[in-house]
Amino acid sequence: MKYASEINRRRTFAIISHPDAGKTTLTEKFLLFGGAIQTAGAVKSNKIKKHATSDFMEIERQRGISVATSVMTFEYKNTLINLLDTPGHKDFAEDTYRTLTAVDSVILVVDSVNGVEDQTRRLMEVISMRKTPVMVFINKMDRDGKNRFDLLEEIEAELKINLHPMTWPINSGKDFKGVYDLRQESLVLFTAGTKADDEEDVVEIKDLSGDTLDKKIGNTDADILREDVELVDGVYGVLDKAKYRSGDIAPVFFGSAVNNFGVKEMLDTFIEIAPDPQPRATTERDVEPGEPKMSGFVFKIHANLDPKHRDRIAFFRICSGKFERNKYYHHVRLDKDFRFSNPYTFLARSKDVVEDAYPGDIVGLFDTGNFKIGDTLTEGENFFFTGIPSFSPEIFKEVVNKDPMKTKQLEKGLMQLTDEGVAQLFTQFGGNKKIIGCVGELQFEVIQYRLLQEYGASVQFNTLPFYKACWITSNDKKKLDDFTRFKMQNVGEDKDGNQVYLAQSEWFLQTERNNNPDIEFHFTSEIH
């Protein structure tokens, strides 16, 4: 295997959570451990509050920060960690889903008070589908949370995963005394506000029946812990790493991110057992990271809001070989070769031009409009990485051009914004209407704002009574053509010319499915 030592020391992952569970706080603690930042508060939350478009716009204005924190690369104990940020707001879920295609594992943060929340449930569906390995951090143990056993049960049942506790909590809320590290067989005592460079108060206790435990946490809590640990050991035994890596078992840690408690235990385990860059499926074959030739794909595109700098940054995940600055790579979709003189790394200390990068790394490629999400670069081979999803939108609006003088700009803007994956564009066959489909209302405001700011195009949206778009295919071309002809008002095509049925309601959708057994209706379409 080529570049084995570089590949083995890399971990590429994302932290996901329902908003407010503590993702930003945990990210920050990780960066402190990695020495990438010196002080707390340095990581800006990318949170968007409910209905606050202004928040989003403000974040957009600070794209510099936003781009820089989309990927955070840092070293910890000689491991190179690529942490990919995901937006928490549900209107941007698509962006999160696509980011999840570029990671090898995830850490899921669950709030011990609120338990499993909406957003977590949706994200976990995508993760389970892909069998991505998951570690769970149960956060905010310093607050009166749910009973520890109930929490585990709830997470297992709601998220349909098998858990494996790695640490075990001693109380919660104001009585929270710390965790027992089941793997290291040591007691980690809780002190609020621990900084990254403070040593945690760790006492090795191999034999829980001795009185050291009572001295440290008192008789009552010591007895409860003994009982808990016996039970937990009996039920879970030793962690089967292979099952973690195949996505069948999720190791669980308890802690408090804001107090930097329980974080180190997880990070140390993470660098030890989390998968290094994994093979990836393509339209032709599986690509191994250790193959000598470079390949990778674009999973995210960031535009520059400043109209003077219209360039975009394409986020490119390297899947095999070594990526080199100024070397020509083959853009499979365009069948053209490109080279990049300023590929951008996301090392937290310096936003620098990178000379070379390895599988698992993300590089930012300056782009003038040649990339769209899902694009593959290779050293000559013709294949596409698969599994990058396009979801069925849920809100549909017709684009009305308010300034006919700017038709060209509008078309260009719509093409580019949809290439970035902000929304999907459909053209209705009957009437030729341009229809934008999104998963959230907020995106329409973003599109309207950006079309004006970046392309000078002024638009208005008319809400359409559609509830879902599904891609339609059939082995019987005539049946598909007939269906399209009869349902002109409800059929159109997406940007790539795939036929789409726009359903007014679940009832219509069901009826059409029943009446047209030869037509298949798909709710997600993979870009490749």
Contacts to ligand GDP by CB under 6 A: 17, 19-25, 45, 47, 88, 139-140, 142-143, 256-259
End-to-end CA distance of the chain: 28
- Is 86 known as a binding-site position? yes
Pick between residue 173 and residue 369 the one whose CB is nearest to ligand GDP: 173
Single-letter amino acid, residue 381 = E
Pick between residue 30 and residue 97 the one whose CB is nearest to ligand GDP: 30
- Is 282 known as a binding-site position? no
Which three-class secondary structure state does DSSP give residue 124?
A: helix
Pick between residue 174 and residue 477 the one whose CB is nearest to ligand GDP: 174
- Is 142 known as a binding-site position? yes
- Is 404 known as a binding-site position? no
Which three-class secondary structure state does DSSP give residue 218?
A: coil
Pick between residue 139 and residue 378 the one whose CB is nearest to ligand GDP: 139
Minimum distance of ligand GDP from residue 255's CB (angstroms): 7
- Burial of 154-183, coded b for 16+ CB within 10 Å and e otherwise, reads ebeeebebebbbbbbbbbbeeebbbbbbbe
- Under DSSP, the state recorded for 75 is E
Paired with 397 in beta bridges are 436, 463
- Is 360 known as a binding-site position? no
- Is 85 known as a binding-site position? yes
Paired with 169 in beta bridges are 179
- Is 302 known as a binding-site position? no
Paired with 473 in beta bridges are 520
Pick between residue 93 and residue 480 the one whose CB is nearest to ligand GDP: 93
Minimum distance of ligand GDP from residue 278's CB (angstroms): 26
Where do the H-state alpha helices sit in 359-476? 407-419, 441-455
Pick between residue 134 and residue 447 the one whose CB is nearest to ligand GDP: 134
- Burial of 376-400, coded b for 16+ CB within 10 Å and e otherwise, reads bbbbeeebbbbbbbbbbbebbbbbe
Pick between residue 159 and residue 500 the one whose CB is nearest to ligand GDP: 159
Q: 344 — alpha (psi -120 to 50), left (phi > 0) or beta?
A: beta
User: What is d(CA 446, CA 454) in angstroms, rounded to the nearest whole number?
Assistant: 11
Minimum distance of ligand GDP from residue 439's CB (angstroms): 19
Q: 77 — alpha (psi -120 to 50), left (phi > 0) or beta?
A: left
Pick between residue 139 and residue 376 the one whose CB is nearest to ligand GDP: 139
- Is 139 known as a binding-site position? yes
- How far from 89 is each of 16, 72, 129, 259, 524, CA to CA, in Å? 11, 20, 21, 25, 20
- Is 389 known as a binding-site position? no
- Is 21 known as a binding-site position? yes
Which tokens go with 115? Answer: 């338990």
- Is 93 known as a binding-site position? no
Backbone angles phi, psi at 515, to 5 degrees: -75, -20
Minimum distance of ligand GDP from residue 115's CB (angstroms): 14
- Is 39 known as a binding-site position? no
- How far from 225 is each of 471, 504, 528, CA to CA, in Å? 54, 56, 51
Spatial contact of 99 and 86, defined as CB atoms under 8 Å apart? yes
Pick between residue 107 and residue 257 the one whose CB is nearest to ligand GDP: 257
User: What is d(CA 111, CA 115) in angstroms, rounded to the nearest whole number?
Assistant: 5
Pick between residue 27 and residue 376 the one whose CB is nearest to ligand GDP: 27
For the chain, the C-alpha Rg in angstroms (whole number) is 25
Residue ranges for the known binding site are 17-24, 85-89, 139-142
Residue ranges for the known binding site for GTP are 17-24, 85-89, 139-142
